Amino acid sequence: MIIGVDYYPEHWDKEMWITDAELMAKTGIKLVRLGEFAWCRLEPEDSRFDFGWLDEAIGIFSERGIDVVLGTPTNCPPRWLCEQHPSVVPTGRNGSPNPIGIRGHRCVNDPVFLGYAQRIVAEMAEHYKDNKSVVAWQIDNELEANFCFCPTCNEKHREWLKSKYGTLQALNKAYGNVVWSGEYSSWEQIDPPYGDYNHAWLNPAYMLDFNRRASEDTVRFCNMQAELIRKYIPHAKITTNTWFCENMTDFYKTFENLDFVSYDNYPTTDIPKDTENIYTHAVHLDLMRGIKRENFWIMEQLSGGMGCWSPMSKTPRPGMIKGYALQAFAHGADTVVHFRWRTAAIGAEMHWHGLIDHSNVPGRRFAEFAELCGEAEKLASLRGTRLRSDVAILYSSDNEYAFKIQPQTYGMYYMEQIKLLHYAFAGLGLNVDIVGQHEELSDYRIVCAPEMYVTDESVVRRLYDFAESGGTVILTNRSGVKDSSNNCIQAQLPTVYSKLTGCHAEEYDPIGGDSVRIKFGDGDTFTGKQWCDILNADTAEVLAVYDSNFYKGNAAVTVNRFGNGRAYYIGTVGEKALYRKIALKILKDSGIPFTDSLPDNVEMTTRVGDEISARFIFNNTDVSQEFTLDGRNITLKPFEMMIEEI
């Protein structure tokens, strides 16, 4: 396993570079990321390139056995470019150019910007094509869907719609534009969603297409750079670093033509007191692994208290620096790069803390990081091992976008039931994959498909086929609500899934912040919140009913035999224990081994290889945990990871 750091030589006097590199080598760091924001130093004037300083920095690290990930600097074009060509600056929702000086100040559709971006990437690739210390490339930084509202993007959007729909008549029908007299009579009438008002007021079909196109713009920009790098370095290893942001790209399309997934991982440093709060980043890590169904990298890992656009967070508690990095390894990371080596002394991120604080004196966090480097060295034999899972959870960018466009009820968000289902199965010691909804399902025995809100007919067929062949499917409320255009399907919910689930909703109640009691046949009771599908069982067996509200006695949770398999339907958003109960029933019925002795927030995963396998047991809490596993009494300190070969 490899530990690295993010480093910014352009921020520091050259005298510090050697000192830092020597301490890195002594600590056990094997990798540094460089250059992703340094365009103004790499091309200080139009057509005048200066790689000398970066060559020197790479040489210093290389001499000490430290490899380099080189970032393309296209996230932050230099001032001279923005001044000479104002069109490169993206336009905001108010129709005015965005401020220069924050990162990401470029429109990835602007032809002038694309020309300069291609040139700087080509210059870098040609310059470093024979440098053996550059082991990977990162494209840009934390790419977001291209929410630019400039004339170029507007025209790109119209052309995208023309290609998709062909005629205005087809577009108007797909969008239902007759509502509020919104029918277009010319393509030129189609504008982006200007204004800072709530976008739920806008046509949801129009908004989903806008999101899809904005994501595709960014994916195309990413692929352009990857193709350019491979032109000069055919065997280059290329990635980009992704995260959960407001306007995410489609993860699966983003990484389709890249070599591996990288994620920026910042777990919380403030453990919530509410026991129903799922704060673990295990779900994020499993989603990243599921994008390509391969091991991945962490390109930015928590190193200290965070603060930039928000006030500073708590500093990491003892054990967090080491424990959270090992948690990433436990879920399929092969490389973890910490952000950052030094806390910045300049710029907006000076309170986003690195491993060495402004004092310039390595402290408690650094000492713990050094321990991590030593432990990662011992785990070298596990590199290449993988997680194999019987359980998959489906994720959809369209569904996440659609939930943002039209909030369903107060407090309800798309990822919640993904987290709840993940927490239930992972809490029983199982590896869990979170995969794209178009992935092949035959490798799994259980597939959770929460909130299948926007319908894709190919996904529907595959879920039916999976159950028919003997698999277990879990569906939830807000499934089958919309067609592929994000318009409502006129049938009783869950519409296209009703034959699979063997039930239908007579009515639904968006209860928001209120709660409802749920009672199972064995007398166990749980709390439901946010949403209640009032179910009528057709061919399904009723497992639980509502035990309060005007629909007391109506079905809340059902299971239906379908072919050789089963389909469960959860009509509400329950507390954690409800999902654990359902998971236990499914695992017992299917004969899949599980562990039910793990305390809450103690996580267990298994990485397997041809010659070696290991189990990771992580206490993701701020208190010691004692429990029994395989007949042994185990005690784990806060954020301690136990690793054992099996």
Mean pLDDT over the full length of the chain: 97
Residue 199 has pLDDT above 80, yes or no: no
Mean pLDDT throughout 549-556? 98
pLDDT of amino acid 386: 97
Whether 152 and 87 have beta carbons less than 8 Å apart is answered as yes
Active site residues: 142, 300
pLDDT of amino acid 226: 98
Distance CA 161, CA 453 (A): 23
Residue 186 has pLDDT above 90, yes or no: yes
Distance CA 455, CA 399 (A): 9
pLDDT in tens, 591-602: 999 999 999 999
Mean pLDDT throughout 622-637? 97
Angle at 304 between CA 380 and CA 145, to 5 degrees: 85
Residue 342 has pLDDT above 80, yes or no: yes
Which position has the token pair 């035999």? Answer: 561
Residue 196 has pLDDT above 80, yes or no: no
Of all residues in the chain, the percent with pLDDT exceeding 90 is 96
Distance CA 581, CA 603 (A): 18
Confidence of residue 194 (pLDDT cuts 50, 70, 90): confident
Mean pLDDT throughout 367-374? 98
**DSSP string for 288-341:** HHHHHTS-EEEEEE--S---SSSPPPPPPPTTHHHHHHHHHHHTTEEEEEES-S
Residue 174 has pLDDT above 90, yes or no: yes
Mean pLDDT throughout 156-168? 98
Global pTM exceeds 0.95: yes
Its sign, for the CA torsion 192, 198, 203, 205, is: positive
Confidence of residue 245 (pLDDT cuts 50, 70, 90): confident
pLDDT in tens, 465-517: 999 999 999 999 999 999 999 999 999 999 999 999 999 999 999 999 999 99
How many C-alpha atoms does 177 have within 13 Å on its Cβ side?
16
Give the residue from 489, 569, 570, 493 showing the smallest Cα distance to 529. Answer: 570
pLDDT in tens, 251-265: 999 999 999 999 999
**E strand or H helix that includes residue 68:** strand 67-71
Give the residue from 446, 644, 469 showing the smallest Cα distance to 435. Answer: 446
pLDDT of amino acid 309: 83
Residue 102 has pLDDT above 90, yes or no: no
Bridge partners, 435 (sequence order): 394
